[in-house]
Amino acid sequence: MHSSDKLLLRLKDLNEIGIALSQQRNVNSLLETILVAAMRITHADAGTLYLHEQEQRVLRFEILRNNTLNKMMGGTSGVPITFYPIQLYDDAGNPNHAMVVSHSALSGETVNIPDAYATQGFDFSGTKKFDTKTGYRSQSFLTVPMRNHENEVIGVLQLINAQDHENGAIIPFSKGDQQLLESLASQAAIALTNRHLIEQLEELFEAFIQLINTAIDDKSPYTGGHCARVPALTMMLAEAVNRTTLGPLKDFEMTDKDRRELKIAGLLHDCGKITTPVHVVDKATKLQTIFDRIELIDTRFEVLKRDAEIAMLARGLSGVEETTARAEYAARIRQLDDDREFLRHCNVGSEAMSADAQQRVRQIAAYQWRDADGNTCNFLSDDEIENLTIRAGTLTAAEREIINHHIDVTIKMLESLPWPRHLKNVAEYAGGHHERMDGKGYPRGLTREQMSVQARVMGIADIFEALTAKDRPYKKGKTLTESLTILGKFKLGGHIDPDLFDVFIREKVYLDYARQFLAPEQIDEVDLGKIPGFNLGS
């Protein structure tokens, strides 16, 4: 082949390598691509890629390849490199120029050695020991520093034993080899630096997300646990859908980019709660605000008891028979104690409240008492009546609106961010976890057909985590059977995606999650035949 044709071919190789480097996302694979490409374009038999650890001031072995010895270490090989890092400075702080790679890293110079055994000025004792041990003959060396955009040496490429294209004989690396490798080292350094910068930005972004969740956690430890568990369960279910080979979702697939996008959405799905008042998020009883106002009502009952005692004594002084007065007083005290225990029970909100119980609250509210200013007023305020007559749970309608508003805030926050293309669906995924398949959810009333699979996955994860959570202030965590029974009813009621529910059960996602996050007493034996909406043959 004519020399000009060879040059064009090698330039074509270099261009293709540059494209490959720019497309590589995994650092290990990127480093391996760099070394393998360097060996190919220079026809080298062996090579090592070192990375510069600036804080430790060493060169760390990252990838090692030797075709003759069939030795592959580091990178994607799975074989760890056991060699000690190369020190760039001695204990006194003097630079180590004795070794070729350390000299290249320190000076930023390329070193091209035709024969290591005939060269003076560098210490090749380690190489010679390696050769003696393996029977290899390390002869020609080409060592090139890898410089980033700031002209810093971030690593070193060292190739060993250039081979003749015709007969495979070991020859020195040519000037052309050196120029090509220097070009490749420059491209590789840029690609590697870009990859590291991207990773650092991604780590910084996730750290900011964790910062938001930490702020929410600091306001309320209950939501903090939720912010960590929902993303974990979301990914468990998504991976189960990804691997399923049955049903309507058998063609669903996720790339690594898809996984990262969904993970980010999971971490941010409740970021709007950073604006939700703590006394609403943590409202453990119906009368709780900054404190539980049931204590104020207890005090009022003591005032009524005191008034009853004063009335009894006054009647005695007015000539009413003492036995009658005391009997009426005792009956009044019993009634007040019974009413107080009743209101305490109502305040807990652990079960649905009947209409009769709500009416009794209103009757007690009509009791008259004299406040600290001497004014006669109703025993309960309108706000206290509203709270104590909450039919289910501990939140009033207004407080539920405040809680529900967090999803509007979440969507507003996420849609305001300039998402890159590979994260463009984060707002949709995170903003859909309170929607229902029948369009009766919030905030947008979306139907199943209007939602992505990922958003529907997050909806199930959010519900199941809430059912099983053992750290809520207002309830105990339910068992697996209780939680799956409710989830099955949600499927039948058009609340959650039926196909995802089937995968959730069939792939035992619930059990994987339970083993990681639930208390042992919550993990009961589930009879799948009794779970509503699940067909054992599905």
Beta bridge partners of 147: 153
- Among residues 363, 378, 394, which one ends one of the domains? 394
| CA dihedral for 128, 130, 136, 140, sign (positive or negative) | negative
- Tell me, yes or no, whether 379 and 430 share the same domain: no
Tell me, what's the pLDDT at 27? 66
* Residue 77 resides in a domain: yes
Compute the half-sphere exposure of residue 21: CA atoms within 13 Å on the CB side of its CA: 25
* Residue 535 resides in a domain: no
List pLDDT tens digits, range 255-281: 999 999 999 999 988 887 777 766 656
- Distances in Å between the Cα of 42 and the Cα atoms of 61, 69, 77, 134, 417 are 21, 18, 22, 23, 46
Find out whether 410 and 270 touch, Cβ atoms under 8 Å.
yes
Domain count, the chain: 3
Tell me, what's the pLDDT at 241? 96
| CA–CA gap between residue 478 and residue 187 (Å, rounded) | 57
- Tell me, yes or no, whether 240 and 367 share the same domain: no
- Tell me, yes or no, whether 327 and 383 share the same domain: yes
| CA–CA gap between residue 195 and residue 20 (Å, rounded) | 13
| CA–CA gap between residue 4 and residue 10 (Å, rounded) | 10
- Tell me, yes or no, whether 485 and 519 share the same domain: yes
* Residue 204 resides in a domain: no
* Residue 289 resides in a domain: no
Residue count of the chain, please give it: 538
Torsion angle defined by CA atoms of residues 16, 19, 21 and 26, in that order, rounded to the nearest 10 degrees: -120
| CA dihedral for 287, 288, 292, 296, sign (positive or negative) | negative
| CA–CA gap between residue 203 and residue 206 (Å, rounded) | 5
| CA dihedral for 310, 313, 314, 320, sign (positive or negative) | positive
Q: What is the CATH number of the domain that holds 245?
A: 1.10.3210.10
- Tell me, yes or no, whether 351 and 329 share the same domain: yes
Tell me, what's the pLDDT at 64? 94
Residue 131 token pair = 């050769």
Tell me, what's the pLDDT at 226? 76
Burial class of residue 246 (count of CB atoms within 10 Å of its CB; 0-12, 13-18, 19+): exposed
* Residue 262 resides in a domain: yes
Which band of pLDDT confidence, cut at 50, 70 and 90, is reported for residue 489? very high
| CA–CA gap between residue 260 and residue 327 (Å, rounded) | 73
Name which of 4-8, 242-246, 444-448, 493-497 the model is least confident about.
Answer: 4-8
- Distances in Å between the Cα of 428 and the Cα atoms of 371, 408, 411, 455, 470 are 53, 12, 8, 7, 29
Residue 414 token pair = 């996420």
Q: Does residue 1 surpass a pLDDT of 90?
A: no
- Among residues 367, 394, 421, which one ends one of the domains? 394
- Tell me, yes or no, whether 273 and 298 share the same domain: no
Name which of 3-12, 205-214, 432-441, 526-535 the model is least confident about.
Answer: 3-12
More confident residue, 300 or 25: 300
List pLDDT tens digits, range 152-174: 898 999 999 999 988 889 999 99
- Tell me, yes or no, whether 414 and 484 share the same domain: yes
The 3-state DSSP class for residue 380 equals: coil
- The DSSP symbol for 32 reads H
List pLDDT tens digits, range 197-234: 888 888 898 888 888 878 777 776 555 577 789 999 99
Long-range contacts of 434-442 (CB under 8 A, 24+ apart): 434/404, 434/407, 434/459, 434/462, 435/459, 436/494, 436/495, 436/496, 437/494, 437/495, 437/496, 437/497, 437/498, 438/493, 438/494, 438/495, 440/494, 441/495, 442/404, 442/407
Q: Does residue 104 surpass a pLDDT of 90?
A: yes
| CA–CA gap between residue 18 and residue 25 (Å, rounded) | 14
* Residue 213 resides in a domain: no
Tell me, what's the pLDDT at 252? 94
Instruction: Work out the percent of the chain whose per-residue pLDDT is above 70.
Output: 87
* Residue 536 resides in a domain: no
Q: What is the CATH number of the domain that holds 169?
A: 3.30.450.40
Q: Mean of the pLDDT values across residues 275-296?
A: 65
Q: Where are the alpha helices (DSSP H) in 416-524?
A: 426-431, 453-468, 480-492, 498-506, 509-517
Tell me, what's the pLDDT at 29? 74
Burial class of residue 4 (count of CB atoms within 10 Å of its CB; 0-12, 13-18, 19+): exposed
Q: Does residue 493 surpass a pLDDT of 90?
A: yes
More confident residue, 388 or 107: 107
- Tell me, yes or no, whether 68 and 169 share the same domain: yes
Tell me, what's the pLDDT at 275? 73
- Tell me, yes or no, whether 20 and 160 share the same domain: yes
- Tell me, yes or no, whether 86 and 168 share the same domain: yes
DSSP string, 184-242: HHHHHHHHHHHHHHHHHHHHHHHHHHHHHHHHHHHH-HHHHHHHHHHHHHHHHHHHHHH
DSSP string, 115-174: -GGG--SS--HHHHHHHHHH------EEEEEEE-TTS-EEEEEEEEEEE-TTT--EEPPP
Q: Mean of the pLDDT values across residues 308-325?
A: 74
More confident residue, 281 or 535: 535
Q: Among 155, 159, 180, which residue's Cα sits nearest to residue 170?
A: 159
Residue type, 302: E
Which residues form the domain of 342?
Answer: 294-394
More confident residue, 9 or 121: 121
Tell me, what's the pLDDT at 140? 96
- Among residues 394, 419, 450, which one ends one of the domains? 394
Residue type, 382: D
- Tell me, yes or no, whether 73 and 156 share the same domain: yes
List pLDDT tens digits, range 452-487: 999 999 999 999 998 898 755 556 788 999 999 999
List pLDDT tens digits, range 39-88: 988 899 999 999 999 888 999 998 999 999 999 998 888 898 888 999 99
More confident residue, 419 or 191: 419
Tell me, what's the pLDDT at 513? 95
- The DSSP symbol for 43 reads T
| CA–CA gap between residue 468 and residue 391 (Å, rounded) | 22
Average pLDDT, the chain: 85
* Residue 203 resides in a domain: no
- Tell me, yes or no, whether 277 and 314 share the same domain: no
Phi and psi torsions of 4, nearest 5°: -65, -35
